[in-house]
Amino acid sequence: MTEQKVTETADIGVSDDYEAKYGFHDDIKPVFKARKGLDLEIINQMCDIKDEPDWMREYRHKAYEIYKQKAMIKWGGDLSQLDFDNIYYYVKASDRAERSWDDVPDDIKKTFDRLGIPEAERKFLAGVGAQYDSEVVYHSVEKELEKIGVIFVSMDTAVSEYPDLVKEYFGTLIPSADNKFAALNSAIWSGGSFIYIPPGVKVDYPLQAYFRINSENMGQFERTLIIVDEGAEVHYVEGCTAPTFSSESLHSAVVEIICKKGSRVRYTTIQNWANNVYNLVTKRAFAYEDATMEWIDGNLGSKLTMKYPSVYMKGKGAHGEILSIAFATKGQHQDAGGKVIHCAPYTTSKIVSKSISKDGGRSSYRGELKVLKGAHGCKSSVVCDALILDEESRSDTYPVIEIGESDVNIGHEARVSKIGEEQLFYLMSRGLSEDEASTMIVNGFIEPLVKELPMEYAVEMNRLIQLQMEGSVG
Amino acid sequence: MSTELVIKDLHISVEGTPIIKNLNLTVRQGEIHALMGPNGSGKSTLANALMGHPLYEIDSGEVTFDGVDVLELESNERAKLGLFLAFQYPTAVPGVSMANFLRMAVSAVRSGNSNGSETKLIPMREFRRELRTKMKQLGVDESFARRYLNDGFSGGEKKRAEVLQLAMLEPKIAILDETDSGLDIDAVRIVGESVNQLIGPNLGVLIITHYPRLLNYIRPEFVHIMLDGRIVESGGWELAQLLEEKGYGPIREKYGISEEVLANEGDQDPLFSLRR
């Protein structure tokens, strides 16, 4: 029966109307048979299932063409092991590969224990079937947000319910042609968040992707668009410290944030993807006059992460800040950092990068500080600290600094250290074991970032570091 | 039964050079000892080695704490037995608050658990109460607890942080290594008065110093003079007074130890004086 359907599908042009041809009822969705690799048919079938408007379908088609033409990037991490044709690019949540609880590695289970993750969430995070329904939490938040005019929906919903807003801003910071993975995301994106904060509205508690978590939203190619209008304020948090399973190994998200005049925006990410995941992300924010944009970026998991959140200071007096931690253990490469581009005068920026490598892991800082011509009176400070915990591990720094004006105040510091013998001795002389002392030192090392996290994340982060130091996290 | 720290025939080298040469000393709970000697006599080496500093090689000899062989133990195990060292130059650990650090340290020392098992932390409320009490007792401002361990501390603040740790950890024997060095008169008085509050029958103290300012506040019963890696003379308070009047010259002459033997013989405290 299934085979017949597939044959019939192939006879019809993909953009033809299934309903008309087959007389399907409105409430039955067309069957989508997931398969590996990416082509127009898959993109179109996805559009059909989502019931997307033509303008988005066209956007995807164009992006796909660009994706095909662009050469693979040759810098950053090692992508040679990633077989692009052997990946599912779109899988409906209900069809996602699952595993049984017995197959979940012991150290992952142990981490859940130590982090105190609730039962229902554990199964979900570990990829053990069952949709996790956080709808209850979300709905109560939703009501409050509605009252103040805040829009917080999935990107899919936004395309159909707020098309004008989406059309105005989607792809304006990160066009499909920006890089190969932006093109890929633009072609096959699914899930992600859309947020709009009206002028003057200050949301005083963090909006969390976790409120709306379900399999759809934990996709490989999430697309997030955040528009913060004049004088408004918001803090958005995505990801979680608990180790998160993914059946698919390629994740390539795109996040665009528009910070209008006088707004304040903070975007916090803690990523702890399973160690089969390639996490290649493009994140960019435009900060207009007197606006402040802060990226807090925690990279703990994945096999390879390539991520350099950036802030373009587009208006006078804008401020951009990037606080980044990368922790690479065995078999991991965290290629992280940030970019700050001063496009307007009297703008300021700050990058603080803390990286830790252990057990042969590799942590790299890759950053860019640019002051364009005409951007007078700018100030920027970049500090990259690397902590290498043993002989097998590695840390690299690739800073790029391009200054187009002479009246600027620029500071760049890079430090590499290992855990000091004197520090260890001092702490041990107070009763701490060597492990406890090392953990304390590492936690102290990342404290400047941890203290910016919401309380529960900070606690989880410290506990996670403790586990990483004991070498017991998968 | 009071705890004894017994040092017998101890020889210590640093990178192949002998520093401590046949040192003998016993300190008991409830006793106050002063170990005095010029710079380079090996005082800090002794202090750090007793605490288990990895750089110091024990050539021979024995150190026992309550009969337990201490030289086989890691630093943290020694701390759990009840030994404490107030460092001359306390190390900074950025990003770690005094409060968090102290809670961990006190929990570790009190639990007495062996290496390999996880330390059970003292409940926060209980700990906070204790910390506040001790800080008040020592006249330390509460904001101190939030600051990062020794990070950006002035000399005086570092020493007071050491004394606070001493108060919280409640060791049986405490070694104070040059706790008055680098401090002005007022700071010495504050440190001296703080330590005095902690002195009692349950605490044995070994004050290591090369000038006797701190001893104005903490009067030792036993004074030992150290020259060239060993204790050459022991006595009472009168020995300290002798040093104050005559300096180390006469003692050096008596034991035939010339100036060239001593390394880094440096700054003598211009305020080298005792007050009754």
- Amino acid identity, position B222: F
Distance (Å) from the alpha carbon of A420 to chain B's nearest alpha carbon: 10
pLDDT > 80? residue A34: no
Nearest Cβ partner for B96 among A425, A429, A444 = A444
Same domain, A447 and A433: yes
Contact A430 B80 (CB under 8 A): no
Same domain, A213 and A224: yes
Asked whether residue A142 is domain-assigned, the answer is yes
**Least-confidence region, from A190-199, A307-316, A358-367, B109-118:** B109-118
- A151-154/A193-197 β-pairing: antiparallel
Asked whether residue A9 is domain-assigned, the answer is no
pLDDT > 60? residue A38: yes
What's the confidence (pLDDT) of residue B40?
81
Interface with A, mutate which of B91, B113, B150 (most A CBs under 10 A)? B91
- The size of the A-B interface in CB pairs under 8 A is 91
Nearest Cβ partner for B91 among A422, A434, A446 = A422
User: Of A463, A445, A439, A283, which Cα lies nearest the Cα of A352?
Assistant: A445
* pLDDT band (50, 70, 90) for residue A135: low
- Please give the average per-residue pLDDT across A94-114, as a whole number: 75
**Least-confidence region, from A455-469, B51-65, B79-93, B230-244:** A455-469
Place of tokens 């390879």: A304
List of domains in chain B: 4-29+39-237+244-261 (3.40.50.300)
Q: Which residues of B touch A427 (CB under 8 A)?
A: 93, 101, 105
- Per-residue tokens: A445: 């090392």
Contact A423 B87 (CB under 8 A): no
Same domain, A446 and A375: no
Same domain, A226 and A250: yes
Element (H, E) at B189: helix B185-198
Query: How far, in Å, are A281, A361, A372, B38, B100 from residue A355 at the CA level?
Result: 18, 11, 28, 45, 23
Considering only CA atoms, give the Rg of chain A: 23
What's the confidence (pLDDT) of residue B79?
96
For A435, which residue in chain B has the nearest alpha carbon? B116
Q: Which residues of A touch B79 (CB under 8 A)?
A: 428-431
Q: Is B233 helix (H, G, I), strand (E, B) or coil?
A: strand
pLDDT > 70? residue A94: no
Contact B104 A441 (CB under 8 A): no
Q: Which residues of A touch B95 (CB under 8 A)?
A: 443-448
The predicted-structure confidence for B3-50, as pLDDT tens digits, reads as follows 999 999 999 998 889 999 999 999 999 999 999 988 888 899 999 999
- Please give the average per-residue pLDDT across B160-189, as a whole number: 89
Distance (Å) from the alpha carbon of B27 to chain A's nearest alpha carbon: 19
* A383 touches B: beta carbon within 8 Å: no
Q: With contact defined as beta carbons under 8 Å apart, do B189 and B208 qualify?
A: no
- Per-residue tokens: A117: 């993750």
Same domain, A324 and A269: yes
Q: Which residues of A touch B105 (CB under 8 A)?
A: 427, 430-432
* A453 touches B: beta carbon within 8 Å: no
- 3-state DSSP of chain A: CHHHHHHHHHHCCCCCCHHHHHCCCCCCCCCCCCCECCCHHHHHHHHHHHCCCHHHHHHHHHHHHHHHHCCCCCCCCCCCCCCHHHCECCCCHHHCCCCCHHHCCHHHHHHHHHHCCCHHHHHHHCCCCCCCCCHHHHHHHHHHHHHCCCEEEEHHHHHHHCHHHHHHHCCCCCCHHHCHHHHHHHHHCCCCEEEEECCCCECCCCEEHHHHCCHHHHCCCCEEEEEECCCCEEEEEEECCCCECCCCCEECCEEEEEECCCCEEEEEEEECECCCCEEEEEEEEEECCCCEEEEEEEECCCCEEEECCEEEECCCCCEEEEEEEEEECCCCEEEEEEEEEECCCCCEEEEEEEEEECCCCEEEEEEEEEECCCCCCCEEEEEEEEEECCCCCEEEEEEEEEECCCCCEEEEEEEEECCCHHHHHHHHCCCCCHHHHHHHHHHHHHHHHHCCCCHHHHHHHHHHHHHHHHCCCC
Q: Is B186 left (phi over 0), alpha (psi -120 to 50) or beta?
A: alpha
- Chain Cα centroid distance, residue A322: 14
What's the confidence (pLDDT) of residue A20?
43
* A420 touches B: beta carbon within 8 Å: yes
- Amino acid identity, position A79: L
**Least-confidence region, from A227-231, B108-112, B178-182, B255-259:** B255-259
Q: What are the φ and ψ backbone dihedral angles of A256, each rounded to 5 degrees? A: -120, 135
Q: Give the span between the Cα atoms of A78 and A392, in whole angstroms.
A: 18
For A448, which residue in chain B has the nearest alpha carbon? B95
Number of domains in chain A: 2
Asked whether residue A44 is domain-assigned, the answer is no
Q: What is the ipTM of this complex?
A: 0.91
Asked whether residue A315 is domain-assigned, the answer is yes
- Per-residue tokens: B31: 């006793």
Contact A430 B108 (CB under 8 A): yes
pLDDT > 60? residue B274: no
Q: Which residues of A touch B119 (CB under 8 A)?
A: 432-433, 436
Distance (Å) from the alpha carbon of B136 to chain A's nearest alpha carbon: 22
Same domain, A278 and A313: yes
Element (H, E) at B49: helix B43-51
Same domain, A142 and A255: yes
Q: Which residues of B touch A434 (CB under 8 A)?
A: 74, 76
Asked whether residue A6 is domain-assigned, the answer is no
**Least-confidence region, from A163-167, A268-272, A347-351:** A268-272
pLDDT > 80? residue A23: no
pLDDT > 50? residue A337: yes
Distance (Å) from the alpha carbon of A428 to chain B's nearest alpha carbon: 5
* pLDDT band (50, 70, 90) for residue B118: confident
Contact B101 A440 (CB under 8 A): yes
Q: In the listed set A422, A446, A461, which residue is the last one of a domain according to the structure?
A: A422
Same domain, A321 and A355: yes
The predicted-structure confidence for B195-241, as pLDDT tens digits, reads as follows 888 999 999 999 998 777 888 888 999 999 999 899 999 999 888 88
Q: Which residues of A379-402 are buried (b: 16+ CB within 10 A; e: fewer)?
A: bbbbebbbbbbeeebebebebeee
Nearest Cβ partner for B108 among A423, A432, A444 = A432
Contact A443 B85 (CB under 8 A): no
Contact A429 B78 (CB under 8 A): yes
Dihedral sign for Cα atoms in the order A339, A342, A343, A344: positive
Within 8 A by CB and 6+ apart from A464, the residues are A111, A115, A241, A272, A300, A473
Q: Which residues of A91-113 are buried (b: 16+ CB within 10 A; e: fewer)?
A: beeeebeeeeeeebeeebeebbe
What's the confidence (pLDDT) of residue A137?
60
Q: Which residues of A touch B96 (CB under 8 A)?
A: 440-441, 443-444, 447
- Please give the average per-residue pLDDT across A36-62, as a whole number: 93
Q: With contact defined as beta carbons under 8 Å apart, do A272 and A304 qualify?
A: no
Q: Give the span between the Cα atoms of B200 and A184, in whole angstroms.
A: 73
Same domain, A407 and A437: no
* A245 touches B: beta carbon within 8 Å: no
Domain that holds residue A470: 423-474
Dihedral sign for Cα atoms in the order B18, B19, B22, B26: negative
For B82, which residue in chain A has the nearest alpha carbon? A431
Most confident range (mean pLDDT) of A8-12, A79-83, A108-112, A374-378 is A374-378
Q: Which residues of A1-32 are buried (b: 16+ CB within 10 A; e: fewer)?
A: eeeeeeeebeeeeeeeebeeeeeeeeeeeeeb
Q: Which residues of B touch A444 (CB under 8 A)?
A: 93-96, 148-149
* pLDDT band (50, 70, 90) for residue A401: very high
> Between A313 and A120, whose confidence is greater?
A313
Same domain, A293 and A435: no
pLDDT > 60? residue A14: no
Asked whether residue A51 is domain-assigned, the answer is no
Q: With contact defined as beta carbons under 8 Å apart, do B54 and B21 qualify?
A: no
* pLDDT band (50, 70, 90) for residue A29: very low
Same domain, A321 and A417: yes
- Please give the average per-residue pLDDT across A356-360, as a whole number: 95
**Least-confidence region, from A223-227, A423-427, B84-88, B268-272:** B268-272
Asked whether residue A125 is domain-assigned, the answer is yes
Q: Which residues of B touch A425 (CB under 8 A)?
A: 51-54, 75, 91
The torsion angle over the Cα atoms of residues A371, A374, A377 and A379, rounded to 10 degrees, is: -10
> Between A140 and A298, whose confidence is greater?
A298
Same domain, A246 and A170: yes
pLDDT > 50? residue A12: no
Asked whether residue A110 is domain-assigned, the answer is yes
Q: What is the DSSP letter of B142?
A: G
Q: Which residues of A touch B109 (CB under 8 A)?
A: 430-431
